[in-house]
Structure 1
Amino acid sequence: MTWWHGVLVLLAGVWAGAINAVVGSGTLVTFPVLVALGYPPVTATTSNAIGLAPGTISAAVGYRHELAGQKWRIVRYAVPSFLGACCGTVLLLSLPPNAFETVVPVLVGLAVVLVIVQPKVSTWVAKRRERGSGEVPQTTPLLLFLIFLVGVYGGYFTAAQGVMLMGIMGMLLTDPLQRLNGIKNVLAAVVNVVAGAIYAFVAPISWPVVALLAVGSTLGGQLGAKIGRRLPPAVLRAVIVVVGLAAIVQLVLR
């Protein structure tokens, strides 16, 4: 790796870490950079997953104020994320590299639609539940199952898993968007750490790339958390939609 390649990977890590903290889809920055520099797709995917894991942890720490009092709830959500990530890594190592290429843009598009319609639908769901039990459940079998599916996807290919998580949680929960964003960062961190740990032992890895991405994404995670926490809900939702649409375009053209 030349010095300028290293600088490029480091900067890509910073940008990806910031995007992941605010929205998700940082992989859509780093993955094309690594492939363009000559790394095989599988090596780029595995090195990227390990390198961006510290950034997702950094972003989750940056949202610690929004996550106050949510410990056991996050633990419940983290379990299906953990199991899904394990399944996703197995799929990556056993299926052809292009197995999910057709369905991934559709999944991201669905997540974007969910984010767009979330305010009206979540309000309707909350009112309907208030007429019943008077309380909106924080954990439902449907929510846990969908978190598991996103974990499978994230373990296979991490791009835009944040958009998907925000889409499903926004539909099924009535928490403030910033709290959901913090929970999203924790779940993404779980998926990336699990996938990265498995890849480290059984998949081809470029450790210089991992080190540069880890440093860059950690810095970017803190930067993104500072920016994201200050965004009004409407602006944050707009950013999620724009990044999601950009992800779809890039995935289709890739």
Structure 2
Amino acid sequence: MRNCAVLGSPIAHSLSPVIHQAAYRYLELEWTYTAYEVDEPDLAGFVAGLDHSWRGLSLTMPLKRVALDVADDASGLARTVGAANTLIRADDGRLFADNTDVPGFMGALGERGIGTPDAKPGTVCVWGGGATAASVLAALATLDAGTTHLHARSAQRAKEALELAEALGRPAGYVPWEVADVCATSELTVNTAPAGALDPFAEALTTNVNGERALFDVLYEPWPTPLAARWAQAGGIVLGGLDLLVHQALGQVRLMTGHDVPVDVLRDAAQRALSLRTRT
């Protein structure tokens, strides 16, 4: 029996236990996967208390940056991005940090035919300046996306993400927390901000939406967001937080168990769980 879990704050809404348990059933593993409310000051103490039965931890906000502080080693990607969403515990107790958000974001786009060599994102509009935004910028650099601008409530909040983009050779421009002219023509809009943050801009951001413009809103509950609903109604392409969740979880399952699972195993489990929440 091996134990795994997702940590974060708040954590009660997380679908990670549902999708990881679905993976274990598919793989016929008698593993457990639970959720724990853990904030930044408590992470070091939590990981210090793990015994030999523990194998992996998924990390959500606000732990993605401080995860590197408690890890003994980290992947090049996690170090470059400055954020990790996964901790793997070796048999000797050492912790290895990795980032599956970047390949997860790319995988979700690729599933919809976006980000392929024949369909590289052109102008990109990213909202939010935290760890998830940094992972998005790293993915966009790998995908050789076009001009990118980053909206944040202050230049200071966007500083780490913008420095990362610069270091990757794909600098992004800073834009204040308002709808700019370039937003009306961006081929890909990515929202990494908390629930409700873009609700006041939903109408303005969907004025010129068409079937070739895509929105990736990384929230999955509540869903659809006002922005995603208006975008879909206008005929645009919409990806949601569920797409990112299941694709980044593919990498976590592989790191924790050493096995691959079909993405639909995870997606179907998550969709069933969300459906049950909607009914109650």
Fold shared, TM-score > 0.5 on shorter chain: no
TM-score (structure 1 length as normaliser): 0.34
TM-score (structure 2 length as normaliser): 0.31
Which structure shows the higher helix fraction?
1
More contact order relative to length (CA 8 Å, sep ≥ 6): 1
Which structure shows the higher strand fraction?
2
